[in-house]
Amino acid sequence: MPDAPGLELIRGEIENDHPGAVLDTSFEHGRAVLVVDAAQVLATLAWLRDAPGHEYRFLSSMHAADYLPAAPRFGVHYELLNRNRVERLRVKAMLADPTEGADVEGVEDSLARSAPSTSASPTAGLPTIDSCVSLFPTAEFQEREAYDFFGIVFRGHPDLTRILMPEDYVGWPQRRDFPVGGEPVTFTYNERRYG
């Protein structure tokens, strides 16, 4: 695990090769995080994988998150691991929602937004980032999962389709503005509280 000064050193080294790639760093709970520019995430990951002395060759996890009230709404997280030194490094790319501010937000709006439109391509209006399958083949299924649940499009992915939800499912169910679903239960507690 690089400590806080070590993280700043890594940032400086990346800054030499890819100026502007690293936007921010954070070191919390013993976990080093590089916040990188989404446009340069592929270059940064390749640098971290191949640069001598770093060599984070193993992608132990790749996942997405939805930080809805925050301004760049989606986060794509890459958990890198150097297996010789047993050092872990998290790379985080923040993605803005392209449809943000276009309409009033709400449940119906979210559903309409995530429904596949017939006119444009099915990935129109979705946040986009480069796929890292060429660097880490293990990311293939994990990127499909992120696409399935959050509607994040990975440019250059060999087969970007739904992996867990049914193929004809409409919507991105793990987004925070997605309705939870299920059925309201008519407990007296709920009736008293919500009418």
Q: Give the footprint of other proteins on this chain (CB under 8 A).
A: 164-166, 169, 171, 173, 178-183, 185, 188, 191-192
Nearer to other proteins, 19 or 181 (CB): 181
Nearer to other proteins, 28 or 167 (CB): 167
CB of 184 to other proteins, least distance (A): 9
CB of 189 to other proteins, least distance (A): 10
Radius of gyration, CA atoms only, the chain: 19
CB of 128 to other proteins, least distance (A): 24
Nearer to other proteins, 3 or 108 (CB): 108
User: CA-to-CA distance for 167 and 82, rounded, in angstroms?
Assistant: 36
Buried b (16+ CB within 10 A) or exposed e, 83-117: eeeebbbebbbbbebebeeeeeeeeeebeebbeee
Cβ 74 vs Cβ 65: under 8 Å: yes
Nearer to other proteins, 1 or 165 (CB): 165
With CA atoms as reference, report the closest residue to 2 among 22, 44, 31.
31
Cβ 68 vs Cβ 95: under 8 Å: no
Tally: H helices and E strands in the chain? 5, 7
Strand-pairing partners, residue 35, are 24, 92
Nearer to other proteins, 23 or 163 (CB): 163
For residue 73, the one-letter residue type is R
CB of 105 to other proteins, least distance (A): 19
CB of 169 to other proteins, least distance (A): 8
